[in-house]
A and B are shown apart, each in its own frame.
Chain A
Amino acid sequence: DAGVIQSPRHEVTEMGQEVTLRCKPISGHNSLFWYRQTMMRGLELLIYFNNNVPIDDSGMPEDRFSAKMPNASFSTLKIQPSEPRDSAVYFCASSWDRGWYNEQFFGPGTRLTVL
């Protein structure tokens, strides 16, 4: 079975440019999470969706960040305009409600560098 798929794996861009990160969750999973990982702050939640509906976006740093989930098999995280402080690894994770521990499966991440 394919796991969570993210693209691109690496992105290098210049300050001010728009960046779009993509995620395909595991088929059948009904929750999707976007996390960001930096050395200073560790792994932090940005936003999550249940059944394609955004539930909590309080972790989104500011209006420059936006996320969508148009259907159960695709989500995007957009940064516009990008800034050097956005440099981090962005992970997408998915899970489904099995009623016990609802383990989250992580994608390989997108390493973003903003120059």
Chain B
Amino acid sequence: GQNIDQPTEMTATEGAIVQINCTYQTSGFNGLFWYQQHAGEAPTFLSYNVLDGLEEKGRFSSFLSRSKGYSYLLLKELQMKDSASYLCAVRLHSGNTPLVFGKGTRLSVIA
């Protein structure tokens, strides 16, 4: 089976930096995605990594190490609106193929 692990919950303070880790053991690998999902809403795409290293997009960065089966999402200058679930997902095969999702990390940003 496919295994994608992330912490269930995290809490961080407004203005701070938080790192959400994801480890994966899957039968294939063709990229790792991070999605954000606010309560009661649809997941929305945040970032994609297929090569090792760091991808930066404004306040959000995502890192990948394929040899370690490890990724993290880094959120800087946290805002209250960043309170949401963050889903790590792996695409096993190339092309327009499905994603295998972790169960998500629920982040609470407090004042």
Chain A contacts to B: CB under 8 angstroms: 4, 30-31, 33, 35, 41-45, 48, 50, 56, 91, 95-97, 101-109
Q: Given the interface contacts A42-B101, A103-B48, does A95 sit within 8 Å of B96 by beta carbon?
A: yes
Distance in Å: Cβ of B8 to nearest Cβ of chain A: 11
CB pair B41–A108 under 8 Å, yes or no, is: yes
Query: Known interface pairs A43-B87, A43-B101, A101-B48. Does A96 touch B96 (Cβ–Cβ under 8 Å)?
Result: yes
Interface residue SS majority, chain B: loop
Given contacts A102-B95, A103-B33, 17 further A-B contacts (CB under 8 A): A31-B96, A33-B98, A41-B103, A45-B99, A56-B98, A91-B43, A96-B96, A97-B96, A101-B31, A101-B48, A101-B50, A102-B96, A104-B99, A106-B44, A108-B41, A108-B42, A109-B42
With both chains docked as a complex, state the minimum distance between the C-beta of A87 and any C-beta of chain B, in angstroms: 15
Chain B residue nearest to A3 in the complex (CB):
B42
Roughly how many angstroms separate A30 CA and B96 CA in the complex, as a whole number? 9
Task: Report which of A41, A43, A56, A97 forms a contact with B43, defined as CB distance below 8 A.
Answer: A43
B48 — nearest CB in chain A belongs to which residue? A101
Q: Is the CB of B42 within 8 A of A44?
A: no
The residue on B at minimum CB distance from A42 is B103
Chain B residues near A56 (CB-CB < 8 A): 98
Beyond A104-B45, A106-B44, whether A44 also contacts B96 by CB under 8 A is: no
Q: Taking A107-B42, A109-B42 as contacts, is the C-beta distance between A97 and B102 under 8 angstroms?
A: no
